[in-house]
Amino acid sequence: MNNVLCTICARGGSKGVKNKNIKLLAGKPLIAYSIEQAKASGLFDHIVISTDSDAIAQIAGEYGAEVFFKRSAELASDTAAKLDVIRDAFQRSESHYENIYDYLVDLDATSPLRSVRDIKDSFKQFIKNGNDNLISATPSRRSPYFNLVELAEDGTVSLSKHLANTVVRRQDSPKCYDLNASIYIWKRDVILNAKSLFLKETGLYLMPAERSMDIDSPLDLKVVEFIMRNSKCSEIK
């Protein structure tokens, strides 16, 4: 059996939605969905929460996650890099559990629509392809080659990316994907040493749009709750 650690990072200082990670969503705290999905996957012996919030820690513990440290103020700031936060949780967990983990799976607390199958299948794909790390994404509705533009300092508007031949239909442009901030997977030596999310052997796990919403605003919260209350898929309720 693979030796895999799960982390869920959830700081208390959310700006877009106050107390976002413990906001009730369809009758349950937001962070609870990721915890329950991780437990149901059967991949992990430990599901570790990285947080600076006592309230988040208490609720996460009630749903079966483990909180044995409080994240530092530096790593809980608006400018802290997610990669540094995940690495910190991984290193603390190895020390706390006195175990060397082969792999790390990080589930974003703000992406409750992922399914348990997504967690299992992304890890299966990661192992099969021998990736160094893996990120999840969904096909993009907009393209930097067709309808994503940039505004220069001089006021010039131009496409974000250019091709030798002009694209007249979005369908003819290179395929692009939106990172959905849902699932991140790492080999041990990679998470301990990586400087970037994008590496030579980075894998991409594709998820449909209906399971790819990342809650970052009050509108996102309402849309996700609507999807949950109207979905027939028990895995994402």
For the record, the structure tokens of 229 come out as: 């209350």
**Which helix (H) or strand (E) covers residue 96, if one does?**
helix 82-97
CA distance 230 to 62: 27
CA distance 157 to 183: 34
In Å, how far are 14, 82, 108, 189, 206 from 140, measured between CA atoms? 26, 23, 20, 31, 11
Question: 11, 92, 141, 169: which is the annotated catalytic residue?
Answer: 169
Q: Which of 91, 103, 94 is nearest to 127 (CA)?
A: 103
CA distance 122 to 136: 8
- Does the annotation count 188 as an active-site position? no
Catalytic residues: 169
